[in-house]
């Protein structure tokens, strides 16, 4: 048609924000609240959505996805809760150490890869650690629509139980907290047994917990469409490698501590992306030629795609070998 | 500009007419002299001033008459508007998107005053001034989707997104090109597109689905689709095929210019923020052949497109039997001169008909 053709930019639309509150919650987790710099209201969002936070760390632009955990009905703020990862790539440390009230930052519009199934007769949430964040928004949304839900939340210790007391006090009959240091374990098999027909379960937490819930639910005969999970992977460091981008007609070096996607962006290539955590599929890239081994880490491609050597997700996956040529 | 609303019908005496203004802004769908399927998506962020692409929801001279026609269809067949129980939130999303967009884009026609969840909606052309509570269905005379789409031109499919798939779980469909919401309700994207020829083999729907699943909040998209309709009928539904199908046999060389219409759908796609559903408005624009050929470039091009269209497509679009009489008519307006690229009429730069 071409009424007014405009090339879509990579990533979701952006919103200029000002940090309005920095609230340490415990030794590891801090909440950051944002207001729109233009004073307007934020767009409404659906619980389970994330935003990508743009951090200007010296010369380096960091883009990290975080679940929106504020009440979706409150359009005056967006809030995220960030767990400090001392061994990580530095995004969470930047948030904890550098970001102050009054700072100007950029968020993307909400993108939801972990939405509630609104057909569900009941929603059962399993959270591990910082995986509590999307459920904060889901609980707020369901409370406003009289939804039927319960939460099972595993934390290391009471001191590190982010929002555990707040949630328990607000919903004593719906929230169940399990502390590792007291040897408490989510009784998953019992909980999956006897749920009413039409129940959906949602899990957010460490990889092991997500796999455990999926495997146990499958073994108990749950349809896979009734079991939802979200896990954002952080790109892992690895040996530097060289990539030829044939559309852009350049050869780039991927450093030890940056992802392939970040290296492309550093070299001025406008590569598509949304979640930057191996989940959304937006950055999927065709491999033209490869001599070496892929280190696939995404949740998007299936085993067959991974084995084929024809596709790579540059946000989290790497390459070890002599030659890699991508159609980008 | 102030829009003068027509008083016209899309049935019985077919008094529907396009003004000169409406002809010049018609969304002519062919950017070159031939047509084949493509996932011809672009961003829906405005367009040239006065064009149908400029506003999020275009309002034109046919507004009031189209809303009257919708009311007639719904009175005869209430199943043209349906919403499965889990889609109520998406209905509120739709109401919010349209009320906010129209009040911002057409402040002289529509007003929205919000005080928390207490909303006052003023639709001046339809003489509606209504205060209600957002997210409380009991304060509206019908469901939120039905309420707002009785006041908005175009059909609306509301697609739930689950398991990497889109599902036709709600809609308002009274101006459709021969498909049925009542038949398609609850179907997934591949199921409701099953009748379309060639496109499946071409991989069109796989690519289209992937694109649509990734339409994000704040970044709506659009494309055009088209077919042919004899008489300016909005309601060409399967439910009423016995009424309108027969009319295709009434074309003659004498009446074709007035009776045969090109039917163009401006399809837009919006991610709905609260429900994460996808809103798919399908806005129908009709134009008589005798009006198209007043634009020399469009007359030349339409002849070439209709002449060269693959037989499967002419059959699917329902005009294979009438193609010879259409070509006889249109060939009078094709002098063989080249046409300029793009969809615009280019009235100042394209030569007049040279025969």
Please check whether residue A64 lies inside any domain of the structure: yes
pLDDT band at A274 (very low <50, low <70, confident <90, very high): confident
Dump pLDDT digits (tens) for A202-239.
999 999 999 999 999 999 999 999 999 988 777 888 99
Q: What is the pLDDT of residue B202?
A: 75
Q: Write the Ramachandran bin of B163: left for phi over 0, alpha for psi from -120 to 50, otherwise beta.
A: left
Dump pLDDT digits (tens) for B99-108.
999 999 999 9
The answer to whether residue A6 scores a pLDDT higher than 70 is: no
Please check whether residue A117 lies inside any domain of the structure: no
Same domain, A133 and A214: yes
CATH number of the domain where residue A60 is located: 2.40.30.10
Please check whether residue B215 lies inside any domain of the structure: yes
Which of B119, B210, B216, B221 would best serve as a mutation to test chain A binding (most A beta carbons within 10 A)? B216
Residues of chain A neighbouring B224 (CB-CB closer than 8 A): 1
Q: What is the pLDDT of residue B139?
A: 98
Which uninterrupted H or E stretch holds A266?
A: helix A260-266
Cβ partners under 8 Å of residue B350, min gap 6: B296, B297, B339, B340
ipTM above 0.85, yes or no: yes
Q: Residue B106 is part of which domain span?
A: 25-331
The Cα B298–Cα B291 span in angstroms is 10
Q: What is the pLDDT of residue A8?
A: 59
Same domain, A102 and A143: no
Q: What is the 3-state secondary structure (H, E, C) of chain B?
A: CCCCCCCCCCCCCCCCCCCHHHHHCCCCCCCCCCCCCCCCCEECCCCCCCCCCCCCCCCCCCHHHHHHHHHHHHHHCHHHEEECHHHHHHHHHHHHHHHHHHHHHCCCCEEEEEECCEEEEEECCCCEEEEEECCCHHHCCCCHHHHHHCCCCCEEEEEEEECCEEEEEEEECCCCECCCHHHHCCCEHHHHCCCCCCCCCCCHHHHHHHHHHCCCCCCCEEEEEEEEEECCCCCECHHHHHHHHHHHHHCCCCCHHHHEEEEEEEEEEEECCCCCCEEEEEEEEEEEHHHHCCCHHHHHHHHHHHHHCCHHHHHHCCCCCCHHHHHHHHHCCCCCCCCCCCCCCCCCCCCCCCC
Nearest to A1 among B40, B89, B163 (CB): B40
Residues of chain A neighbouring B162 (CB-CB closer than 8 A): 115, 117, 225
Mean pLDDT of chain A: 93
Q: Nearest C-alpha of chain B: how many angstroms from A252? A: 28
Q: What is the pLDDT of residue B208?
A: 85
DSSP letter, residue A145: T
CATH number of the domain where residue A313 is located: 3.10.20.30
Q: Is B43 on the interface with A (CB under 8 A)?
A: yes
Query: How many DSSP H helices and E strands does chain A contain?
Result: 7, 17
Please check whether residue A8 lies inside any domain of the structure: no
Please check whether residue A296 lies inside any domain of the structure: yes
Please check whether residue B140 lies inside any domain of the structure: yes
The count of domains in chain A is 3
Please check whether residue B348 lies inside any domain of the structure: no
Displacement of CA A302 from its chain's centroid (Å): 19
Asked if the Cβ–Cβ distance from A2 to B163 is below 8 Å, we say no
- Other CB atoms within 10 Å distance of the CB of residue A173: 7
The Cα B94–Cα B87 span in angstroms is 11
Q: What is the pLDDT of residue A5?
A: 45
Which B positions 113-152 lie with beta carbon below 8 A of chain A?
135
Same domain, A255 and A175: no
Q: Is B193 on the interface with A (CB under 8 A)?
A: no
Q: Is A146 on the interface with B (CB under 8 A)?
A: no
Q: What is the pLDDT of residue A9?
A: 65
The count of domains in chain B is 1
3-class SS of residue A37: coil
**Structure token pair of residue A54:** 């743009």
Which of A279, A317, A269, A285 is CA-nearest to residue A300? A279
Q: Is B216 on the interface with A (CB under 8 A)?
A: yes
Which residue of chain B has the CA closest to A110?
B217
Q: Determine whether B223 is an active site residue.
A: yes
Alpha-carbon separation of residue B139 from A35, A221, B93, B115 (angstroms): 32, 42, 16, 15
Same domain, A63 and A130: no
Which residue of chain B has the CA closest to A118?
B86
Q: Is B87 on the interface with A (CB under 8 A)?
A: yes
Dump pLDDT digits (tens) for A146-162.
999 999 999 999 999 99
Residues of chain B neighbouring A3 (CB-CB closer than 8 A): 27, 42, 47-48, 51, 53, 222, 343
pLDDT band at A4 (very low <50, low <70, confident <90, very high): very low
The Cα B69–Cα A185 span in angstroms is 62
State the catalytic residue, choosing from B11, B25, B223, B300: B223
Q: What is the pLDDT of residue A89?
A: 83
Asked if the Cβ–Cβ distance from A44 to B163 is below 8 Å, we say no
Residues of chain B neighbouring A111 (CB-CB closer than 8 A): 216-217
Same domain, A128 and A225: yes
Please check whether residue A3 lies inside any domain of the structure: no
3-class SS of residue A129: helix
Q: Nearest C-alpha of chain A: how many angstroms from B42? A: 6
Please check whether residue A257 lies inside any domain of the structure: yes
Which residue of chain A has the CA closest to B164?
A113
Q: Residue A85 is part of which domain span?
A: 14-111
Which residue of chain A has the CA closest to B211?
A282
CATH number of the domain where residue A201 is located: 3.40.50.80
* Lowest-pLDDT choice from A7-11, A22-26, A29-33: A7-11
Please check whether residue A70 lies inside any domain of the structure: yes
Please check whether residue A116 lies inside any domain of the structure: no
Low-confidence ranges of chain B (pLDDT < 50): none
């Amino acid at each position: 048609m071409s009424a007014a053709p405009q090339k879509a930019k990579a990533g979701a639309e952006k919103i200029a924000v000002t940090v309005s509150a920095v609230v340490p919650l415990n030794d590891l987790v801090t909440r950051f609240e944002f207001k729109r710099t233009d004073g307007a209201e934020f767009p409404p969002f659906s619980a389970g959505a994330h935003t990508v936070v743009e951090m200007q760390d010296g010369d380096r632009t960091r883009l990290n996805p975080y679940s929106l955990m504020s009440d979706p009905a409150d359009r005056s703020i967006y809030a995220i809760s960030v767990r400090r990862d001392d061994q990580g790539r530095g995004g969470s440390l930047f948030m904890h150490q550098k970001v102050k009230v009054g700072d100007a930052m950029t968020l993307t519009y909400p993108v939801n890869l972990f939405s509630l199934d609104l057909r569900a007769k009941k929603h059962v949430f399993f959270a591990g650690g910082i995986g509590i964040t999307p459920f904060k928004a889901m609980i707020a949304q369901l409370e406003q629509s009289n939804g039927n839900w319960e939460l099972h939340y595993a934390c290391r210790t009471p001191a590190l139980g982010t929002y555990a007391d707040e949630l328990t006090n607000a919903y004593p009959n719906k929230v169940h907290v399990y502390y590792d240091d007291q040897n408490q374990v989510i009784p998953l098999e019992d909980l999956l047994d006897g749920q009413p027909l039409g129940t959906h379960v949602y899990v957010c937490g460490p990889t092991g917990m997500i796999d455990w819930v999926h495997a146990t639910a499958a073994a108990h005969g749950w349809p896979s469409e009734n079991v939802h999970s979200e896990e954002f992977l952080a790109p892992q460091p690895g040996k530097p490698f060289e990539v030829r981008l044939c559309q852009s007609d350049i050869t780039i070096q991927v450093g030890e501590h940056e992802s392939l996607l970040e290296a492309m962006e550093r070299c001025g290539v406008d590569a598509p992306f949304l979640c930057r955590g191996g989940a959304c599929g937006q950055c999927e890239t065709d491999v033209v030629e490869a001599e070496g081994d892929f280190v696939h880490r995404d949740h998007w491609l299936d085993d067959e795609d991974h084995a084929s050597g024809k596709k790579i997700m540059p946000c989290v996956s790497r390459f070890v070998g002599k030659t890699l040529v991508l159609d980008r | 500009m102030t829009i003068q609303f027509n008083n016209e019908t899309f049935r019985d005496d077919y008094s529907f007419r396009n003004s000169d203004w409406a002809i010049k802004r018609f969304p002519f769908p062919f950017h070159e002299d031939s047509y084949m399927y493509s996932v011809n998506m672009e961003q829906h962020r405005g367009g040239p001033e006065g064009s149908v692409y400029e506003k999020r929801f275009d309002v034109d001279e046919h507004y009031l008459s189209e809303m009257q026609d919708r009311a007639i269809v719904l009175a005869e067949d209430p199943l043209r508007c349906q919403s499965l129980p889990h889609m109520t939130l998406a209905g509120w999303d739709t109401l919010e998107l349209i009320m906010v967009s129209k009040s911002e884009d057409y402040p002289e026609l529509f007003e929205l005053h919000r005080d928390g969840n207490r909303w006052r909606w003023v639709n001046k052309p339809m003489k509606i001034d209504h205060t209600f509570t957002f997210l409380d269905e009991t304060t509206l005379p019908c469901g939120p989707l039905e309420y707002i789409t009785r006041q908005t031109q175009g059909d609306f499919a509301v697609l739930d997104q689950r398991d990497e798939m889109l599902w036709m779980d709600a809609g308002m469909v009274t101006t459709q090109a021969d498909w049925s919401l009542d038949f398609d309700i609850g179907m997934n994207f591949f199921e409701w597109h099953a009748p379309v020829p060639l496109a499946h083999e071409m991989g069109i729907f796989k690519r289209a689905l992937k694109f649509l699943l990734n339409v994000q909040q704040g970044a709506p998209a659009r494309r055009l689709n088209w077919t042919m309709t004899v008489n300016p009928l909005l309601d060409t539904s399967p439910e009423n095929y016995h009424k309108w199908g027969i009319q295709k046999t009434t074309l003659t060389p004498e009446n074709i210019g007035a009776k045969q219409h090109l039917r163009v759908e401006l399809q837009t796609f919006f991610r709905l923020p609260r429900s994460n559903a996808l809103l798919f408005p399908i806005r129908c624009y009709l134009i008589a052949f005798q009006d198209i050929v007043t634009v020399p470039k469009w007359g030349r091009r339409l002849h070439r497109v209709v002449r060269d269209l693959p037989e499967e497509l002419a059959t699917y679009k329902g005009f294979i039997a009438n193609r010879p009489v259409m070509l006889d008519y249109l060939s009078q307006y094709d002098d063989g001169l080249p046409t300029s690229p793009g969809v615009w009429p280019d009235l100042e730069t394209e030569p007049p008909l040279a025969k």
